């Protein structure tokens, strides 16, 4: 595993921890954002391991679908977790009147943990 890939997984772990702290303090939109970023960093690590770099979030999503999900390297449910978290992050960051319930945040955070674990297994 290259240093860059390792750093991405470390960033993912930090984002999970941040999301847990934010959730504990009822900072629900911020917790969703950090959970998404955990998945973003883990997915980026997987792509880097395949020699693929993307500069945008949508580019990363597209490449992950094409190069990881479509060939069957990871269960499609994980791609759905990533897409759902991306949409929730978009709403949390850019729609000021959005309300996110605690159960949704808890589920998004658990999905981020599961997604990150699955990505790490792909790279190891």
Q: What are the tens digits of pLDDT across the range 76-116?
A: 999 999 999 999 999 888 887 678 899 999 999 999 999 99
* Contact assessment for residue 35 and residue 54, using Cβ atoms and an 8 Å cutoff: no
Which whole number is the average pLDDT over 27-41?
96
Domain covering 3-123 in this structure, CATH number: 1.20.120.330
Q: If you ran DSSP here, which 8-state letter would residue 65 be given? A: I
* Tens digits of residue pLDDT in 53-65: 998 999 999 999 9
Report the C-alpha dihedral over residues 45, 47, 49, 53, rounded to 10 degrees: -100
Residues 6+ apart with CB under 8 A from 112: 15, 16, 19, 35, 36, 38, 39, 81, 85
Q: What is the reported pTM?
A: 0.95
């Amino acid at each position: 595993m290259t240093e860059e890939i390792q750093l991405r997984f470390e960033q993912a772990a930090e984002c999970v921890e941040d999301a847990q702290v934010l959730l504990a303090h009822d900072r629900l939109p911020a917790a969703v954002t950090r959970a998404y970023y955990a998945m973003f960093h883990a997915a980026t690590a997987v792509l880097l391991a395949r020699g693929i770099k993307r500069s945008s979030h949508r580019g990363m999503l597209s490449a992950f679908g094409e190069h990881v999900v479509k060939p069957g390297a990871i269960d499609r449910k994980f791609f759905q977790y990533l897409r759902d978290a991306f949409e929730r992050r978009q709403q949390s960051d850019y729609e000021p009147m959005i309300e996110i319930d605690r159960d949704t945040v808890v589920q998004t955070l658990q999905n981020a943990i599961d997604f990150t674990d699955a990505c790490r297994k792909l790279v190891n």
